[in-house]
């Protein structure tokens, strides 16, 4: 069964919409300097808070993530795709997944499928499905091979 989106945080700890918009506006110029783990965690936090980033922030995030696609490890990849799936760009977040991001991410993800654990494999596939990204038959064959020893 698909992974559910992250549960909403307790209401007393949620920053205001204006605060989050200001935070993202201040963070956007620094996104290019973030590591894959920081990029994934930032997006996961936004999904957890139920805050849909604006197009300018998402453009910066996608650009930075595409530039570092080969440096993402299995945990960062799974977290980023799970967060993107929860945010649902093009559905819940304005805009759609840029082609460059998909072109850089899918081959990098395919190379690391064998290193992913069962939960990570599920998060990766769930995120791609939520984003409506078709990775191709060969990619899916590698995904299945990556999960063979895990009962996936």
Confidence of residue 38 (pLDDT cuts 50, 70, 90): very high
Confidence of residue 151 (pLDDT cuts 50, 70, 90): very low
Most confident of 19-33, 43-57, 94-108: 19-33
What is the tens place of the pLDDT at every residue in 41-60? 999 999 988 888 988 999 99
pLDDT of 36 > 80? The answer is yes
- Asked if 11 contacts 49 with a C-beta cutoff of 8 angstroms, the reply is no
Neighbour tally for 50: CB within 10 Å: 16
Burial of 151 (0-12, 13-18, 19+ CB in 10 A): exposed
- Asked if 85 contacts 130 with a C-beta cutoff of 8 angstroms, the reply is yes
What is the tens place of the pLDDT at every residue in 139-150? 999 888 876 555
């Amino acid at each position: 069964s698909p992974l559910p989106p992250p549960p909403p945080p307790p209401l007393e700890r949620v920053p205001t919409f204006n605060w989050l918009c200001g935070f993202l506006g201040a963070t956007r110029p620094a996104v290019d300097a973030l590591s894959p783990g920081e990029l994934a965690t930032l997006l996961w936090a936004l999904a957890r808070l139920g805050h849909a980033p604006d197009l300018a922030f998402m453009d910066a995030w996608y650009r930075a993530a595409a530039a570092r696609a080969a440096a993402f490890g299995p945990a960062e990849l799974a977290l980023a795709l799970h967060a993107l799936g929860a945010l649902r760009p093009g559905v819940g977040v304005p805009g759609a997944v840029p082609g460059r991001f998909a072109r850089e991410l899918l081959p990098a993800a395919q190379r690391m499928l064998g290193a992913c654990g069962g939960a990570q494999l599920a998060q990766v596939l769930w995120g791609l499905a939520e984003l409506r990204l078709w990775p191709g038959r060969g990619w899916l064959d590698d995904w299945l091979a990556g999960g063979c020893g895990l009962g996936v």
